[in-house]
Structure 1
Amino acid sequence: MFTPSRLTLARERRQFTKKALAEAVGLSAHTVLRYESGEIEPTSDAVERLAATLEFPRQFFFEPDIDQLPEGAASFRSMSAISAKERDAALAAGTLAYMLSDWVDARFDLPKADLIDLDGDTPEVAARSLREKWGLGEKPVRNMIQLLESKGIRIFSMAENTMTVDAFSAWRSERAYVFLNTMKSAERSRFDAAHELGHLVLHKHGGPKGRDAEDEADRFAASFLMPAADVEATLPRVHGLNQIIEGKKRWGVSVMALIVRLHRVGAISDWQYRTFSIQATERGYRKQEPFGMQREFSVVWQKVLTALWSERTTKDEVARELHIPTAELENLLFGLAAARGDQLEMSIKPPLRLVSD
C-alpha cells in the first residue's frame, strides 16, 4: 500500500509546495492533496514520476508510516529568519535521522542519555549543575560533540544550503537528538551544540517559548563553555581586543561569544563591551574567526561506520535498506564520518558493540 505521509515527507524534504510538485509531475494540485490525505492512491505511473522528481527510491513510498519529528518537538534558534520551507525540510531531515537511529539501535548498543531535568533552574545554575554531574569542574570542554555523544545524545549534521537554520534539538521518548548545521564555523558549531544542550535540560517539558527560550539557551551555553570562575581567573583584566582573540582559544568559542561572556561576568565595562564589539565587527570577526579551530567530529558515527565496514556493509547498502537516497544518509553524517585517528582514541562508555555480540 502507498503511504501518504511518506510522500509529504519527501516533498517537504525537497522544499516543494503541493502546487509546485503537481506542476513538476504533470498533475493537479488537488490530486497531490488527495494523495497526501490518503483519499486516493496514485497510479504506478504517477508514483514513478513522483519518485523521479523527488529523487527518492520508489519503494520508499510503500514502507510503513514513519515516526515523524513534529514542529513542536524541535527547538529552532531563529524562527524569524527561517522560512516555512526551510523549517519543514530540516524537520524532514530529522525524521530521516530517526529512521537511521532506529536502524542503528537494532544493531548496536549505544550510550543511553545521561541528562538531568533542570527545568526551573536559571541557565547559569543549570550549567553548573550539569558540569558537576558530569565531573567537568571548571575546565574547558575539549570536544563538545564527543562529550555529548558520550552522554548518550545523538548528534546529526545538516548539510542544508542555508545559514538561517543554525541548529535544533528534540526529545523523542527518552532519546535526545541534536542537529548541527555544518556550514557554521567550528567555534559557532560548538556554541550551537551547547545551546541545544541547554534546550534539552531546561525545556524538556516545555517552558519559555520563542526569544525567551533562546536567550535562556544562549546563557546556558555561555556558562557551560565558559565557566565564570575560569573566565575571571584567566582574564581578570582586559585591555584590548587582542587579549580576547588569544583568550578565545582556551574555551573554543568565537570572539563575539567571549566578548559577551566577559561583559556578563563583569570583566569588562559597558564602554569596553561596545568598543570591542565594534572593533570585532570592523575586522570581520562576525563572519570569519581569527585563528579558527579545527572542526569537531563524531566518534560514535565513525565507530558505527567502521563496524559496518568490517562486515562489508557500506553506506549505500544501509541507504538501500532504509529506502532513502544515499545522499540523505551522507547529509546526516556529513563531516562527522571522517574523524582523524587520534580522535578515535576517546573511549565511549558503555563501549560501542554489536547487539548480536
Structure 2
Amino acid sequence: MITSIFNGERLKLARRFNKFTLLELAEQLRVSKQMVSKYEKNLSQPTGEMMFRIEEVLGFPRRFYFEEDFVYDKVGNTYFRALSKATKKDIEAQKIRVDFLSILYRLVEEYIELPMQKIPELDVDGMTMEELAQEAREYWGLGEKPIKNMVELLEVNGFIVSTSKMNLEVIDAYTQTREINGKDTYFIVLGNDKGSRYRRQFDAAHELAHILIHEAYLDVSTLSKEEEREIENQANDFASAFLLPKEAFTRDVSMMPTNLDHYLFLKKKWHVSVGAMVRRAYNLMIIDSDDYTKLQRTMGRYGWRKAEPLDDKSEPTSPVLLPKSIKTLLEHDVFDGYSILEELSNIYQFPIRENMLEDLVGLEQGTLAKYRKKRSGVVVELKQRS
C-alpha cells in the first residue's frame, strides 16, 4: 500500500539492485554517506529536490520509495557459478533481480496458462551423475539425441528462464527455487555477456543440475569452500553427461578423439563447445591425460579458451516464455503499455519504468511504447434527449 512516508528499505533495495555502496550512492547524490544511511534507516526524509536526484540515479519512479516492504513467500538458496569469486554487491544485485522476476511471474501467471512443470524425481543418493543425467533424459524422452536448444527444453517443462547483462566475469548463470502460491517455482538466469550459444547450452544444463540434484532450501553459508566446489563439480558432471550422452557421444568422438577439427565437426551436431567435449572425452577415458593436456595446450595457443570457431556464427538461444507472455497480454488488450505498469504498481506494489520491465523479461526496448493507447482525462457524453 502506498503511503505518504518515505520507505528507507526501498531506497536500500534500489541501491543494492544498482550495485552501489553507501559511499558510491552518496557521491552520485552529492550528499554525505551518513545522510544516505539516515534515509535508509528512516531517520531522515529526502527533500523534493533530493527525490528528483534519487529517481534519476537509481532509475525507479518516485512512487517506488513510498510503498511498504515487499513480502515474499519461501525463498530458497541461490546457486551461483564461481560464487567464491563474486563480490557481495554482485550477488545481492542478482538476488534482487530474481525477487523482481518473481513479481512479474505472479502477474503473468494470473492471466496466462503457463507450461505445466514436468520435473523428474531422481534418487540422488543412490545414483551416479551419469545415471542421474540418463534418467532425466529418459524422463523427457530425449533418447540419445542432441539437445539443440536447452533454453527451450527448460521453458517447455515449466522452468522460468531469463537473461541478464551481468557485466561480470565471475557469474555465468545462477538459479533459485522459491515458493509462489503454494508451489515451488524454479528461476534460472543466464548471463548475456559472452554471446556464445554453445556456452549458454552448458550454463543452462549446469543450472538444471542444481535444481534436480541439490537441496533447494539449503543454507549455503553453512558449507565449507570444499563443499561448495563439490556442488559445482557435480553440476558440471551432470551437465556434461546430460548434453553428451555416454554411448552416442563415445561412438562419435572415438573416430578421431585427438583431432580438434573433428571436435569442431561434432560441435555442429551436439551444440556443445569443443572445450566441454574434450573434457567429456577425458572423463569417459576416450583420451588419456597426455592427450587431454596436448589438446588443452593447442586450444590455448589458438585462443579457443576465450572464443572458439563457430561461436560467432549463431546467436545464443533466448528465453521466450516471459516476453511472449507479456506481448500476448498487450496484443489481446488485457493491458496496454500504460496499464500493465499501473497493475504492477497498484496490485503488486512494484512501480517501475517501462525500460526496466523490458529488461527484466527480455523484451526489445520500446515494446511497451508501441502498445500505448492515447488517453484523455476529459470525458464527453451525449445528453439524454426527452
- CA distance change for structure 1 residues 71 and 114 in 2, over 3 Å: closer, same or farther? closer
- CA distance change for structure 1 residues 271 and 314 in 2, over 3 Å: closer, same or farther? farther
Task: Specify the alignment match of 1:175 in structure 2.
Answer: 185
Counterpart amino acid of 1:23?
Answer: E
Give aligned pairs, total: 337
What secondary structure sits across from 1:80 in the alignment?
Answer: helix
Deviates more, 1:271-280 or 1:325-334: 325-334
Task: Specify the alignment match of 2:331 in structure 1.
Answer: 310
1:69 & 1:256 partners in 2: Cα distance?
40
Contact kept, 8 Å, 1:301 with 1:336, in 2: the verdict is no
Counterpart amino acid of 2:358?
Answer: E
1:186 shift after superposition: 0.9
1:297 shift after superposition: 2.5
Task: Specify the alignment match of 2:352 in structure 1.
Answer: 324
Deviations 1:14-43 (A, max 9, x none): 111112222322433233223333455544
1:327 shift after superposition: 2.9
Runs (5+) with no aligned partner, structure 2: 345-350, 366-386
Counterpart amino acid of 2:250?
Answer: E
Question: Does residue 1:257 correspond to 2:261, yes or no?
Answer: no
Deviations 1:136-185 (A, max 9, x none): 11211121111100110000110122232210000011000000001121
Task: Specify the alignment match of 2:266 in structure 1.
Answer: 247
1:335 shift after superposition: 7.6
Deviations 1:219-238 (A, max 9, x none): 11101101111111222232
1:41 & 1:111 partners in 2: Cα distance?
45
- Residue 28 (structure 2) aligned to one of 8, 21, 24: 24
Question: Does residue 1:166 correspond to 2:186, yes or no?
Answer: no
Deviations 1:98-151 (A, max 9, x none): 221122112212123322354434322221121121111121112111110011
Task: Specify the alignment match of 1:8 in structure 2.
Answer: 12
Task: Specify the alignment match of 1:279 in structure 2.
Answer: 298
What secondary structure sits across from 2:84 in the alignment?
Answer: coil
Task: Specify the alignment match of 2:201 in structure 1.
Answer: 190
Runs (5+) with no aligned partner, structure 1: 338-357
Deviations 1:297-327 (A, max 9, x none): 3232343143123135456754464322333
- CA distance change for structure 1 residues 144 and 314 in 2, over 3 Å: closer, same or farther? farther
Q: How does 1:114-133 map to 2 (within 5 A)?
A: 114-118=118-122, 119-120=124-125, 121-133=127-139
Contact kept, 8 Å, 1:117 with 1:204, in 2: the verdict is no
Q: How does 1:190-229 map to 2 (within 5 A)?
A: 190-205=201-216, 206=218, 209-229=227-247
In the superposition, the TM-score normalised over structure 2's length comes to 0.79
Counterpart amino acid of 1:179?
Answer: V
2:103 & 2:42 partners in 1: Cα distance?
22
RMSD over aligned Cα atoms: 2.6
2:201 & 2:363 partners in 1: Cα distance?
14
In the superposition, the TM-score normalised over structure 1's length comes to 0.85
1:250 & 1:63 partners in 2: Cα distance?
51
Counterpart amino acid of 2:278?
Answer: I
Deviates more, 1:80-89 or 1:217-226: 80-89
Contact kept, 8 Å, 2:76 with 2:177, in 1: the verdict is no
Question: Does residue 1:298 correspond to 2:309, yes or no?
Answer: no
1:89 & 1:175 partners in 2: Cα distance?
20
1:277 & 1:336 partners in 2: Cα distance?
39
- CA distance change for structure 1 residues 53 and 336 in 2, over 3 Å: closer, same or farther? closer
Question: Does residue 1:141 correspond to 2:151, yes or no?
Answer: no
- CA distance change for structure 1 residues 113 and 4 in 2, over 3 Å: closer, same or farther? farther
- Residue 105 (structure 1) aligned to one of 89, 106, 109: 109
Task: Specify the alignment match of 1:355 in structure 2.
Answer: none
Contact kept, 8 Å, 1:297 with 1:335, in 2: the verdict is no
Task: Specify the alignment match of 2:384 in structure 1.
Answer: none
Contact kept, 8 Å, 1:248 with 1:254, in 2: the verdict is yes
Deviates more, 1:268-277 or 1:19-28: 19-28
Identity %: 31
- Residue 250 (structure 2) aligned to one of 216, 227, 232: 232
- CA distance change for structure 1 residues 162 and 69 in 2, over 3 Å: closer, same or farther? farther
